[in-house]
Amino acid sequence: MSKLQLEDLSRQLGVSKTLISMVINGKGNKYGISQKRQAEVLDAIAELNYTPNHFAKSLRTGRSNFIGLIVTDISNPFYSTIARSIEKLLFSQGFNLMVCSTEENEEREKQQVEMMVSRQGVDGLIVASTFKNSSFYEQPRISRVPIVFIDRVVPLFKANYVITDNYGGARDLVNHLLDTGCRKIACLAITPLHLSTVEDRIKGFKDAHERRGIKEAEKFVKPVNFTSIQSEVEAYLREMKEARTPYDAIFVLNNHIATILLKLLRKKEFRQFANIRVACFDDIDLFNMVTKKVSSVSQPIEDIGTSASQLVLDLIAGKQINKSTVVLNTKMVVR
């Protein structure tokens, strides 16, 4: 291997490793190194294509310039868009992003956090957690590293969050449905139900109903299993065909269910639902492409990424001491 290192440069230039190190790290002026020398060093580095050994540097400084991102599924457009905006901001600041998918599995999340955090592997972490409680994250060896949670709140855990206003968005959208003539609205929720995003959206759904004196709206809520959306929604639609007082709208808790629902509604079997209204939390491009008019709530996806990155960076720099929760507003898209 025998790659170029400080030692070699030092010999070739006839200056010490220290001096070169200072120049490389932009501390030349701070230590009063002459401009001439600095230029010489920089030239040599460029010419010889010297690049420092990241690990030696990290070992010495205790900082890696890596940030970890842990989400449930990097192939989900919601998360990959966030990933993109995070990576963009971080890269501009000299950081690199490491990504893991948990597949909504607590055990995997644990493993991945451990792996990244273990002995200063990453300087900071951004995670959309699946956890029901905070005990794992409260362990000192984990909480030692700056973490920003996104999208979901870990129940009862005081931490740094960047989330969207799930409650308000859902409430407004359901209000809109009720205001524009809907009498009975079904709500398709996604499991696990304990996720704060799901809970808050359901709460919005219920409160919109209560405001109109409709109690026990939770009876209209149908949980759909993450792993078998297609079959469960299909079964649910069949049931609905039998109902005495029919639903005139369906409020769907996420884009994944919405996509499948729209697909199913095109079947002739469900022709009778031709006029049922569909609304969705989360706005996706698909809604612009299908005949069915789907009103929705759009989340500021890019902002989640930029806010979260900025926050970790601040935490790392020690600029931010107190735990903070950033709640980003949603926007209603009426179709």
What is the binding site for DNA (CB under 7 A)? 1, 3, 5-7, 14-19, 21-22, 24-25, 27, 31-34, 37, 52-53, 56-57, 59-61, 119
When the beta carbons of 170 and 284 are compared against a copy of itself, the nearer one is: 284
Between the CA of residue 244 and those of 234, 247, 250, what are the distances in Å? 19, 9, 16
Binding site partner of 34, from DNA, a copy of itself, none, Cβ cut-off 5-8 A by kind: DNA
193 binds a copy of itself (CB under 8 A): no
Burial class (CB in 10 A: 0-12, 13-18, 19+), 59: exposed
77 binds a copy of itself (CB under 8 A): yes
- By CB under 8 A, which span of 7-15, 171-179, 199-207, 286-294 interacts with a copy of itself? 286-294
The helix-helix angle for 255-265 and 229-242 (nearest 10°) equals 50
> Alpha-carbon distance 98 to 90, whole Å?
11
Give the pairing of strands 249-252 and 185-190: parallel
Q: What single-letter DSSP state applies at residue 287?
A: G
Residue from 147, 262, 280, 313 binding a copy of itself (CB under 8 A)? 262
Strand partners, 58: none
| Residues 128 to 187 in contact with a copy of itself, rule: CB under 8 A | 141
Residue from 115, 193, 243, 327 binding a copy of itself (CB under 8 A)? 115
When the beta carbons of 53 and 288 are compared against DNA, the nearer one is: 53
When the beta carbons of 47 and 216 are compared against DNA, the nearer one is: 47
- Minimum separation from the CB atom of position 1 to DNA (A): 7
- Minimum separation from the CB atom of position 199 to a copy of itself (A): 27
CA angle 141, 63, 322 (to 5 degrees): 60
Tokens 């790659």 sit at which residue?
A: 3
42 binds a copy of itself (CB under 8 A): no
> Alpha-carbon distance 329 to 326, whole Å?
10
Burial class (CB in 10 A: 0-12, 13-18, 19+), 46: exposed
- Minimum separation from the CB atom of position 31 to a copy of itself (A): 24
- Minimum separation from the CB atom of position 145 to DNA (A): 15
> Alpha-carbon distance 12 to 19, whole Å?
13
When the beta carbons of 208 and 260 are compared against a copy of itself, the nearer one is: 260
When the beta carbons of 64 and 160 are compared against DNA, the nearer one is: 64
CA angle 317, 127, 66 (to 5 degrees): 45
Residue from 75, 245, 275, 322 binding a copy of itself (CB under 8 A)? 75
> Alpha-carbon distance 173 to 88, whole Å?
32
Strand partners, 150: 162
Binding site partner of 17, from a copy of itself, DNA, none, Cβ cut-off 5-8 A by kind: DNA
- Minimum separation from the CB atom of position 36 to a copy of itself (A): 27
> Alpha-carbon distance 161 to 113, whole Å?
17
Residue from 285, 317, 318, 321 binding a copy of itself (CB under 8 A)? 285
Binding site partner of 179, from a copy of itself, DNA, none, Cβ cut-off 5-8 A by kind: none
Query: How many chain residues bind a copy of itself (CB under 8 A)?
Result: 51
> Alpha-carbon distance 115 to 102, whole Å?
13
**Cβ atoms 137, 143 nearer than 8 A:** yes
**Cβ atoms 249, 177 nearer than 8 A:** yes
Residues near a copy of itself, by CB under 8 A: 1, 3, 49, 51-56, 58-59, 62, 64, 66, 73-77, 80-81, 83-84, 87-88, 91, 96-101, 112, 114-116, 118-121, 141, 259, 262-263, 266, 285-286, 288-291
